[in-house]
Structure 1
Amino acid sequence: MNNAIEVKGLRKEFKAYSSRSGLKGAFRDLFTRNYKVVPAVNDISFSVKQGEMVGYIGENGAGKSTTIKMLTGILTPTSGHIRVNGMNPHKERERFVRTIGVVFGQRSQLWWDIAVQESFRLLKKVYKVTDEQYDDHMQAVIRTLDIEPLLDKPVRKLSLGQRMRCELAAALIHNPPLLFLDEPTIGLDVLVKLKIREFLKEINQKYNTTILLTTHDLSDIEALCERVVMLDEGKVIYDGALNNLKENLEDGKELHFQFLEKVDLPAVKKITSGMPVKWELDEKDQVFIANLENDDLLISQVIATVVAAFKIKDIKINETSTEEIIRNIYEKGAVEVG
């Protein structure tokens, strides 16, 4: 079995009720309701290989959480085919849940009023993990996530960052081959995010753990995932390499120059005449901005020409961020990347 996740023609529909207007309409609603069928997930297909780390992204309401709930067996699909770890998630529930770990950023699997280590012991029994397996695996997890000082504290006394590290450890007590992460870094500070990212890379390399990550923090995706599956209105609009997406869809580069001496815009334009460059001046900060295509040779030529002509205080190369690229995709709809 090469694929941890296989999804074909997956669909989930919900009934949405609508109220009639006016007093007469409200009275009629008491006896008969108007409703329409809304597809939250609309015939999507994709697969995830064992050991892959994949970003599953989309705007609010795109169908991400509904997909995760079907993949983890919480929801039953309206139609379509699902195989996760070689099983049907909602038909082989008891056996299946022992092969996955799930972290929902806004829901807790730890008991609120008892110490973290007591929650871990309860989960150990639920998953039928032996003492030897627990000690061998969890010592490394606890050390890497730096949660040993938290083990004897009640969950309610933990900060958000502390709780999320404990939640991640709890999801890994049975060392599952597949990990679902739904907004695992929501509301966390930068240092905690970095610690969680490094930990996820480590378990992926050490255990070949497959990770499906949904998040609105695209820096998480860039740090962890080489591949993204992008969802919009219940449909997959892109499935492929993140780098390929950036290389083909970013609008270009901006070169920001600051000079040690007074320079005017016509002088800068003159020395780069004949090159496909558009110049503008940020007068407030006295930054000269060259807009050009994402071409390494052209960028080098422009920098060399400007440096040869003027004394430079600072140079910055700004590229279109992943967030901007993805925002543009959603505005335009489905995308083809060659």
Structure 2
Amino acid sequence: MSDLHTLLALHGALLIFANVLLEQGGLPIPAYPLLVVAGALAAQGQLSWPLVLAAAVAASLIADTAWYFAGRRYGARLLRTVCRVSLSQDSCIRQTQSLYLTAGPRLLLVAKFLPGAGALSTVMAGLTRAPYRVFAGYDVTGALIWAGSAVLLGVLFHPLVADILEALTQYGRMSVLFLATLLAAYVAYRVFLRWRVVRDLQAIPRLTLDELLSWQRAGRKIVLLDVRPQPEDPLPGAIPIDANAAIDKLDLGPRDADIVVYCACPNEISAALVASRLRAAGYANTWALLGGHDAWQAYREAPQSPLSSPPATEQS
């Protein structure tokens, strides 16, 4: 840890720039603790706090601009890809879209404080084609708030930070091993929670798009529920609902109605969660659509797809 102290004292701004750039680029290398340490060193006169903030803001803007333009070009596909590497990918897209659609670019003011929302909110800004000047203004302000809060903590508690650094230096490898063990335990716990949710929801039956279209062509009445937060380009006849809505507030018809739920999320988790709640409420004939909205898009774009849309779903 004394090496870290020395490196920060000699190359503080460059080290901060590299750390923030890597973190905002998507690597699991937290920059906030380093910014707190930099604030403590600034309070001792060993670093220039304006230079630290400038380095952090510049790195954030560079990384976030890359995410912004990638979001403009690749749209929802990039959002889904980012969410696939999240430890909470089942709620990742839904929660990020809901937050952004509610707050708009203003979400960038606090996104860096929300776990997993930093890159996703910048992708959403590009996906929704927010003007770059608006995006950059909120992004720079949010980076200043985020980095400034860390530096301020370091300044206010610099004696405590110095004591922690001294303790870490004294115990050397044991302290690093302890911190690494804590991080590994946290990741393992999150992975276990995700595995348990996926396992439990495997019991919810899936319906393929071909089966759904076959039922529709046969005249079978289907209640089709769209649980995406931004229900653009829905399947014909789909009813948009809030995934967290109370079941008794939904007009779904009789308890024996055939209900198919779809989302745009990995493993159909959001759809399966809603289907699970519907089944618990007495709607036994409920399925999650295998592949969700992605399956519908692939069907429409396939060369052998019919020119006309499939028959509209009748609502019961």
Q: If the length of structure 2 is used for normalisation, what is the TM-score?
A: 0.24
More helix by share: 2
Name the structure where strand makes up a greater proportion of residues. Answer: 1
